[in-house]
Every structure is written in structure tokens, then in C-alpha cells.
Amino acid sequence: MTKSSDKELLRASFKLEYPYERSPGPVIGKFFDELSNEVLVGTKNSKGEVFVPAAEFDPKDSEHLSEFVEVKNEGVVQSYTWIKKPRAHHLIQESFAFALISMEGTDSAMLHMIANCNENELEIGKRVKVVWNEEKTQTIRDIKYFEIIDD
């Protein structure tokens, strides 16, 4: 079998993206609408557990969720990873953290970023608050990042 030789290697530029739009539906759509008003909402199941970001169904028993509750813009770090040197695609190009954050009074966590701090200030259990993006796009990016709440 004749293999392609390296001289024949063709190159083309490529943008890593979803080349289509998605409609968020009634639950995620409502969550994004409220984010653009700088309000955080979650969905509540029949046991009273609250999911933020708003979940369409209970991840444990698949209960359909439609009751919304407003929550505070503050939460607790459940885990984090510090990125000293951000890489291509990362939205923040200075050292920052990805984190799982449980918003106050909720029973799940939200993946987002923490910025404006040093690595040694971050720990699991640290309290953080939302910093809003000025320009709203009705996406998860309406939260710009989280920052540590000074005690």
C-alpha cells in the first residue's frame, strides 16, 4: 500500500466552534433571561432541592423541574483548578481558576471561573460572588467570573 507522503500534507485554517445556533428551551432560556437582568435563578424539585444553573430535570430521578426560585449571587467553592498560564480559547488571559461553585442555598454546583485573586487565596470552602459582564448575551457568559468575598 502506498501511503500519503508528508509532502502532500495539506493544511487549512479551522475555527473550533459549533457552526450552528441552539435554542435554549423554556428552562435554560429562563435562566439566561434572568442572568441578563443580573438575577440568578434555579429550579426546585419536589424534595425542595435547588439546582443552579437551572436544571430541566432532576439528575437523580429525572423528575421534570419547572418551579423557579431566585438565589443569592454568592456561593462556596467546592473545587477549583488554578491555571497559571492560560491557554488558547481560555476567556481570561491572566492567571485564573476554573471552579465548581455551590450558590448559597442550592444543592448542586456551577462550573465557572474565578479571577482577580492569587492562587494562595483560593481554597475549597472559600466564599465567592458573581461579577457580571456589562455586555449581556443571554448566555452563561453574562457572569464574567466570580471573585473572592473579603472576610
Partner 1 sequence: MKDIYILAYAQNPIVADAKAANEVELIMPVVHQVFKQTGFTQNDIGFTCSGSCDYLQGAAFAFVEGLSAIQTNPPIKESHVEMDAAWALYESILKIQMGDAETALIYGFGKSSPGDLPFVSTLQTDPYYMSPLWPDKTSLAALQAQLLMNKGVLTKKDMYEALTQSISNAKNNSNALVTAMPSEDDYLSADYLSSPLSAFDCAPISDGASAMIIGTEEAATKLGLQKIKISSVHHSIESSNFGARDLSTSESIIGLGKKINLKSFKPDFVELHTQFTYEIPFIRGLLDLGNVDINLSGGPLAGNVMMAAGLDSIGKSFELLKNNDFHSGLAHASSGPCLQQNMLVHLEKIND
- Among 28, 71, 115, 131, which residue interacts with partner 1 (rule: CB under 8 A)? 28
- Among 40, 41, 50, 99, which residue interacts with partner 1 (rule: CB under 8 A)? 99
CB count in 10 Å sphere of residue 52? 24
- Looking at residue 138, its amino acid is Q
81 binds partner 1 (CB under 8 A): yes
Q: Quick one: 37 or 93, whose CB is closer to partner 1?
A: 93
Question: Least Å distance between CB 85 and partner 1?
Answer: 8
Q: Are 100 and 110 in contact (CB under 8 A)?
A: yes
Cα dihedral angle (140, 113, 89, 6), rounded to 10 degrees? -120
- Among 38, 66, 70, 91, which residue interacts with partner 1 (rule: CB under 8 A)? 91
User: What is the C-alpha to C-alpha distance for residues 87 and 93, in angstroms, rounded to an integer?
Assistant: 8
CB count in 10 Å sphere of residue 35? 24
Name the segment binding partner 1 (CB under 8 A); options: 48-56, 66-74, 126-134: 48-56
Task: For residue 107, give the C-alpha cell.
Answer: 444543592
The site for partner 1 (CB under 8 A) is made up of: 1, 3-9, 14, 16, 18, 22, 24, 28, 51, 53, 55, 59-60, 78-85, 87-91, 98-100, 108-113, 119, 124, 139-141
